[in-house]
Structure 1
Amino acid sequence: MSVRKNCSACCVCRPNSLLNLINDLLDVAKIESHELVLELHALNIADIVSEVGSIMSVRAAEKNLMLNIKCAARTELNIMGDAVRLQQIITNLVSNAVKFTDEGFVNILVKAEALPGAGRQVVIDVVDSGIGMSHAQTERIFDKFIQADPSISRRFGGTGLGLAITKQLTELMGGTLAVSSREGLGSRFTVTLPVENAAHDDLPPEIEPIAAPRTDARGHILLAEDYEGNIIVAQAMLEEQGYDVIVARTGKAAVEAFRAGGFDLVLMDVQMPEMDGYEATRLIREGEASGPGGHIPIIGVTANALVGDREKCLAAGMDDYMSKPFNPAQLEHLIGKYMPALKA
């Protein structure tokens, strides 16, 4: 019988299991002795979730998992909080979800809700299609040092403290952590946190989606994509391969970014706000025809690989197309096919 084990998020970044255990024990000791003090600053939860997604996207891609992120409007997620500890909570839950999911998806869902009076709360759900747990296992999953059976423990590792720490940190913030799961059908972990609004002037500036390409990269790729989960996965894959990636979140922004120049290849989502990928490609090709630059490869990207998609992409002026979810081997193959000088 498959059993989910309580593991630590730190195992993602620190392979030394003894160091993991020491750090987790220190966290437990600080929390239980009331020595852990939260450092409250203005933050935006969407930024933290995006960073966690970037960290975990490579591992998810290695397992061919869809890592999806859906957040409430950015203005609803400006809060006062401890960014380090909040990231620890989310990272631990997403790390567990990826670790115990062999196929399917991991979803990170964030919403803001009004409470009676003037209060608000943020609800963070981490949902996976993994091995799941029985009711008896969910009853004990937040206990310290809860492990799976020996075979699962040997396969996945971990200290058995991660979810216990996550629950304690959540409660330290005045919130709750709950789990629902069924064996073989995945799990849902829900963090509910009462929050205090942060003044907009106190928040760090939002990162601009369009920036000038770097000059020290292996190649420069324009990623035209509006869905944050796909952006995180594709950007992590391409940057790991040594490419500079500039993101445009609308078709109009993609055309404007392309006209600024400096790109070796474009990955063009066919469905985007303001202007779809087909129209954006037509405008890019019209500009190429009347300009001094050469032909830049454009690869269409679609979530639905249907009969006729390839022909529609080619008719719009694209060189090829690929389907989502993004696959590292397919990306590398297409880069090598259309930019052979950059393959090595």
Structure 2
Amino acid sequence: DHQDDGVTRVWLALVLLCRVAASFNNAIKFTESGFVLINVDVTEHQLSLSITDTGCGMSEQQITRAFQPFAQGDHSISRRYGGTGLGITVVQRLVNMMNGELKIESKQGLGTKISVTIPVEAKFSILNTPQEISTEDREILRWLKAWGVPHQSSKDQNTFNLVRSNQWQNLYPDHLLSALTTSRDPLTYDTGNRYQFEGNVLIADDDPINRLLFTKQLKQFGLNAIIVKDGQEALDILKQSDQVIDLVITDCHMPNMDGYELTEIIKSSPELSHYPVIGCTAEDSKLVVEKAERVGMNQVIYKPYSFNELAVALEQLLPATCIKQHPNQPWASNYSEDEQLQMASVIFESFTADKSMLQDEKENIKEVSHRIKGSAGLLGLTTLYRAAKDCEKDPNNAQKLKQLTDELNKSIESASIILKRLNLQ
């Protein structure tokens, strides 16, 4: 449960708070029947977090003992449920580190309520969205109201409609918030500026929130998103569309045809097997990895994935022609201007010499590619590294040699730009 106070951002010690929340698992461990209720309330200067359960409860004496290290309510608890008895002691110390307060209310045989209050700095604001939102989903409506987002409770042709289409859908408030807003996080923009692509990505996902989020993220990368609701629609696009598709991203669990079945059909078809496929799932388990490998998924990203994780996956799997190398090379940000000058000079001269060797029929292309691969790996030039690795494996392949040469040209040009900026060329 949460209070609709219009808070959109809170500044606090997130790592410590997460450790406090994780320590509340006793509420589930000791509750064999009934319920566990978590309540969050944020005001301008205070965050209140409480967890109430209908578990075994504690007496006043047991509550006192709970604050002592390596002590539990009674000795039978460790035998029945396991654990060391450090839970409340650790929570108390974490809360104290945040200048907060911890309170326990409990009745033996009825249940327990643990309350934590922490001083915070909260920001109240109305989220700006490109258009009014409409939805008939009561849970989504609650979050839209809490965030002050203009919305309607019915469909309208001039609004963006949000709906969880079936029982497969779970509502993740962080995903909903990300989908509705353009991130103000500087790191996100840095990542977007570092990774820039061009091309078309086919997205198969039955969740409208995820589809909107993917569309906004890919647009920030310079990519066009083609959106479908399930694997069958994706397969129809791949087989019938005249539009060039450079990459497929599919949710693993969808009705009609899930991502595993879609991938298996793609990879087993001679006409479609060249398409790289990224699977997307919230289920992080060994089973997912085994199923993904079995059907031929090139990579899996796990929800909630970071912007950088998506960027790296795109860079690894998009065709080289879709990747635009940003002039500000990854290595440049790690050095002072004098060091950048020295590095750019060495890179410019070394890669120019490597390029000449690649064009010389007398040279051993495999050895040159291997050397370039090592340098690119040290510098963090992922696309160049991948092109050199491919050429090293197949040095007689003219297309792979051309791709390596093209990537070398990009890195040479980027080094040249840095040299010009530092007024030494």
TM range (shorter): 0.3 to 0.5
Higher strand proportion (structure 1 or 2)? 1
TM-score by length of 1: 0.41
Where is the helix percentage greater, Structure 1 or Structure 2?
A: 2
Q: TM-score, normalised by structure 2?
A: 0.34
